Amino acid sequence: MHEMHEGQVRAMAGTKDGGSGKPVAQRLLATATRLFAERGYDRTSVQEIVEAAGVTKGALYHYFGSKDDLLHEVYGRVLRLQQERLDRFACADAPVEQRLRDAAADVVVTTIENLDDTKIFFRSMHHLAPEKDKQVRAERRRYHERFRALVEEGQRAGVFSSATPADLVVDYHFGSVHHLGTWYREDGPLAPQQVADHLADLLLRALRP
């Protein structure tokens, strides 16, 4: 019975695909992101999302389960991207100062490139159900711990100063990253990579022995 229901949902979603060729889940997520940005998470209904995406409520609940899941995924896809990239930088065959600088710059660029997603999430994360909130915090903690491990590696090697605890170093950098949504503008004087280079250089200067 469950399999039949899933098949029906897929058929219904396909019927209302509108010929765009874009996968239903991707279209739902893009539509929800746009509406959350325009109206706010709490003022956007499931009905408005599915109507704008051109799918059924059954399709939304099949792919995401709830509006809460959509909000989680808005931020989760960015965090997964950043985690994958950080893991590659951390494992690269390069001096620790280069690996940390690359990682520090990359999180700035990827945040700016997905600024709507991060702004939506930090503005609306208090709406998450407790279990989703716990999951997101665990995912962010894993990212910060991986970043902190690079700082600690450099401190043990004497490449970075140990005067400031690694936890505070991480908070210092990510405080700047999380603040990007309040001031960065696409039509401003600095391109994403320029902002990234400035903030990464500030971090490396702060860690200089």
pLDDT category of residue 154 using cuts at 50, 70 and 90: very high
Top-confidence residue, 30 or 121: 30
The residues, ordered by sequence, that sit 6+ positions from 9 with a Cβ below 8 Å of its Cβ are 56, 58, 59, 62
pTM of this structure: 0.81
**Distance from C-alpha of 140 to C-alpha of 157, rounded to nearest angstrom:** 26
